[in-house]
Amino acid sequence: MGTPARALGDGLVIHEDCDHLLFVGFSGSGKSTVVRNLGRMFRRRTVDLDRVVERRLHGTLPGVWIEYGEQAFRAEEHKALLGLKQEKSLLVACGGGTVATRENRELLRELGHVVFLDGTFEDSLAQMRSTHRRPDLGDRAHAARLYEERRPLYMSVADYTVSITGKTFEQVACDCGALLWEEGLL
């Protein structure tokens, strides 16, 4: 049977009985790229939480981190998540640390279906073009500790898990698209 849907004037599709699809994973797992690819493939609106926080705080992620600190960044990130309650049928790229608080984990589950882009720490590092936009990672040892702390949190909120190991972002987007299509979510 299929999910009832309607097309908006700009050709985007809104699924009447479908919640948001939220993508979580460690920095470099490809959340933003996969969400953009899926948005184009399935004509769905997309949101990148890191970019929302940057706009709200009028700066780049590293600048916001330095000027306001992690606590302010996380508070604004939580507000951005709360704002998604007013929207429908979005593909959402969450920041790597979005799962750090219990409140955000609960909110993710409430907002829709969560897809965990899973890979090794090395997979994520290999995909990062640069770590300068990822101020929370620090040096390699600190980043590895963060990965170990966060991976169980990603798993705890995930409705679906898609492996990124040995794949391009386009392949991961296709894997996600096929899975979510079969589930009736796209």
Per the annotation, binding residues are: 28-33, 50, 74, 96, 134, 150
Residue numbers belonging to the annotated binding site for ATP: 28-33, 134
- Token duo for residue 72: 């302010």
Residue numbers belonging to the annotated binding site for substrate: 50, 74, 96, 150
Characterize 26-36 residue by residue with b for buried, 16 or more Cβ atoms within 10 angstroms of its Cβ, and e for exposed.
bbbbbbbbbbb
Residue numbers belonging to the annotated binding site for Mg(2+): 32
User: Counting Cβ atoms within 10 Å, is residue 69 exposed (0-12), middle (13-18) or buried (19+)?
Assistant: exposed
How many Cβ atoms are within 10 Å of 68's Cβ, its own excluded?
Answer: 15
CB 56 within 8 A of CB 81: no
